[in-house]
């Protein structure tokens, strides 16, 4: 029998991953840091047309795009003269399983079936689990979803419990864990025991699945407005949402469209902390994922993460939990669309940013998600109070993550805070050098860092020199 201790499983992780994904990532490596990103996407991905066909087979894609006319009236009311861009919403909640992540899962599960895997496994506490389960069900594959659900008191997040219910409704086996390092260990152990496919969020298959979202919304805006959108806003966590959407926009020809990321500000809360786990009201779309994954994408459950947001992001903004809850209610009460919290992070950002932009400009919020009993604001805010969080109306900027959730009193109070892309890009360069124990940097690695940060050679050299790293 093979040794299944924590140390032994972690020592075999590369071997396990290679078998479970079917990708030899080493063939794309050509430097100490560098790898051929586009070659990886091309060789193991699928074309846009192939992905559209795959998704269409299992009730995914071709989702509607709405102009939020009532919300846009309020945006105009609270905007300076000549300002107030129009906001449109891509309604991804109508996909099978209820979120844009069905696009990612559709390609991964199709690939698993095509290559003879008997089942799929995903480590996720979010909508992706339901997406994988729904796709596996339709293609006749087994499915296991591994979730972090509880703190050490065995108290579970209502949103995660709702998503577990959703996974089970689609016939998946759900393995529920407490927060901590056992998640990755359990995930690897199950992959090795079952021989199932690793339906990771971060493979080229998953990112290729989201490219159709960017392509679709570009075409829909061209048909409705005669031009591509000026701005697309994506809720940002692990980065696949923004990366795939940006690549789809570019492939469709919308190269001048700016892409912004938006995350809930959970500064001060540690995502792997047992103490902090139930002090947050958002399980995804927050800075606890968005910032670490932006500054070091390869922390993912595959050797090379295909989600690399700093190649594409033009602006990165944050909002408070209370602002997102407020806009969630506004969407339901003004537009008749009751949708879940994560997608409404980008909508809250769009409302604030629209007030800054000229009235002839357009913004597309590129996804919604389904809601349910555990994902509803009432459940989340009740849970917050039960965990000692103060919930009240007032000024959102006075809220403190882990201590208070302050709900705005009007649209006028909605605003965004900008994160420095320059700071994030410097952190990525620093992480790439330090985590790979680089002492001297090759020219090919410099060129890769230029691509990964979308910055000039001079910029990379300035950062490298500040770290006292030699250039070969």
d(CA 162, CA 169): 11
Q: What is the CATH number of domain 6-36+101-202?
A: 3.40.50.1100
pLDDT of residue 215: 98
Q: Where are the domains of the chain?
A: 6-36+101-202, 55-98+205-418, 421-471
**In this prediction, what percent of the chain has a pLDDT beyond 90?**
90
E strands, 3-99, where? 65-67, 86-90
Measure the CA dihedral 70/71/73/74, to 10°: 130
pLDDT of residue 126: 87
Would the pLDDT of 1 be above 80? no
pLDDT of residue 39: 95
Question: What is the phi/psi pair of residue 128, to 5°?
Answer: -65, -35
d(CA 105, CA 227): 30
- Report which DSSP code applies to 314: S
pLDDT of residue 472: 80
**Cα-Cα end-to-end distance for the chain:** 47
Between helix 69-77 and helix 321-335 the angle, nearest 10°, is 120
What lies within 8 Å, CB to CB, of 46 at 6+ separation is: 54, 107, 205, 208
CATH of the domain spanning 55-98+205-418, picked from 3.40.50.1100, 3.10.129.10, 3.40.1110.10, 2.40.40.20: 3.40.50.1100
pLDDT of residue 76: 97
Look at residue 100 and give its three-state secondary structure: coil
**154-163, 240-249, 330-339, 351-360: segment of lowest average pLDDT:** 154-163
Beta bridge partners of 119: 142
pLDDT band at residue 180 using 50, 70 and 90 as cut-offs? confident
d(CA 285, CA 8): 33
User: pLDDT for 280-329, tens place per residue?
Assistant: 999 999 999 999 999 999 998 899 999 999 999 999 999 999 999 999 99
- Enter the tokens of residue 410: 């009007």
For strands 362-365 and 86-90, give the pairing. Answer: parallel
- Enter the tokens of residue 210: 């989201």
Find the DSSP H helices in 173-281: 182-194, 204-225, 240-252
**Cα angle: 326, vertex 95, 228; to 5 degrees:** 75
- Enter the tokens of residue 32: 């100490």
pLDDT band at residue 360 using 50, 70 and 90 as cut-offs? very high
pLDDT of residue 80: 96
**281-285, 445-449, 451-455: segment of lowest average pLDDT:** 281-285
The yes-or-no answer to whether 6-36+101-202 and 55-98+205-418 have a common fold is yes
**pTM: predicted TM-score of the whole model, two decimal places:** 0.96
d(CA 457, CA 421): 17
What lies within 8 Å, CB to CB, of 386 at 6+ separation is: none
């Amino acid at each position: 029998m093979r040794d299944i201790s924590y140390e032994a499983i972690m020592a075999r992780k590369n071997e396990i991953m290679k078998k479970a994904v079917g990708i030899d990532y080493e063939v794309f490596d050509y430097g100490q840091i560098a790898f051929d990103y586009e070659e990886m996407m091309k060789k193991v991905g699928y074309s846009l047309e192939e992905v559209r066909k795959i998704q269409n087979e299992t009730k995914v894609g071709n989702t509607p795009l709405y102009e939020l006319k009532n919300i846009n009236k309020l945006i105009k009311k609270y905007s300076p003269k000549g300002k107030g861009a129009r906001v449109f919403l891509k309604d991804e909640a109508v996909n099978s399983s209820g979120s844009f992540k069905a696009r990612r899962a559709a390609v991964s599960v199709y690939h698993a079936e095509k290559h003879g895997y008997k089942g799929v496994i995903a480590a996720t506490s979010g909508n992706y689990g339901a997406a994988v389960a729904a796709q596996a069900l339709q293609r006749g594959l087994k499915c296991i979803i591994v979730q972090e659900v509880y703190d050490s008191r065995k108290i579970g997040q209502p949103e995660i419990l709702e998503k577990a219910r959703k996974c089970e409704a689609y016939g998946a086996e759900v393995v529920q864990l407490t927060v901590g390092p056992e998640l990755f260990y359990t995930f690897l152990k199950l992959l090795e025991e079952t021989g199932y496919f690793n339906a990771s969020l971060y493979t080229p298959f998953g990112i290729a699945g989201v490219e159709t979202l960017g392509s679709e919304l570009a075409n829909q805006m061209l048909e409705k407005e005669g031009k591509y959108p000026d701005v697309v806003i994506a809720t940002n966590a692990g980065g696949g949402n923004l990366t795939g959407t940006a690549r789809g926009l570019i492939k469709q020809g919308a190269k001048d469209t700016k892409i912004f990321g938006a995350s809930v500000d959970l500064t001060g809360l540690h995502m792997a902390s047992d103490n902090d786990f139930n002090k947050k009201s958002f399980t995804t779309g927050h800075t606890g994922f968005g910032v670490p994954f932006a500054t070091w994408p390869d922390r993912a459950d595959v050797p090379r993460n295909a989600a690399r947001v700093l190649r594409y992001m033009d602006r990165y903004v944050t909002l408070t939990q209370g602002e997102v809850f407020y806009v969630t209610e506004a969407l339901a009460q003004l537009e008749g669309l009751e949708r879940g919290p994560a997608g409404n992070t980008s909508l809250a950002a769009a409302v604030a940013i629209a007030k800054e932009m000229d009235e002839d400009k357009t913004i597309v919020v590129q996804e919604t998600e389904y809601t349910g009993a555990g994902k509803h604001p009432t459940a989340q805010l009740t849970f917050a109070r039960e965990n000692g969080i103060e919930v009240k109306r007032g000024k959102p900027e006075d809220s403190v993550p882990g201590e208070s959730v302050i709900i705005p009193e009007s649209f006028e109070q909605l605003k965004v805070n900008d994160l420095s892309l320059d700071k994030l890009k410097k952190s990525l360069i620093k992480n790439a050098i330090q985590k790979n124990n680089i002492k001297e940097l090759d020219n090919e690695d410099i060129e890769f860092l230029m691509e990964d940060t979308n910055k000039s050679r001079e910029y990379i050299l300035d950062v490298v020199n500040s770290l006292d790293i030699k250039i070969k």
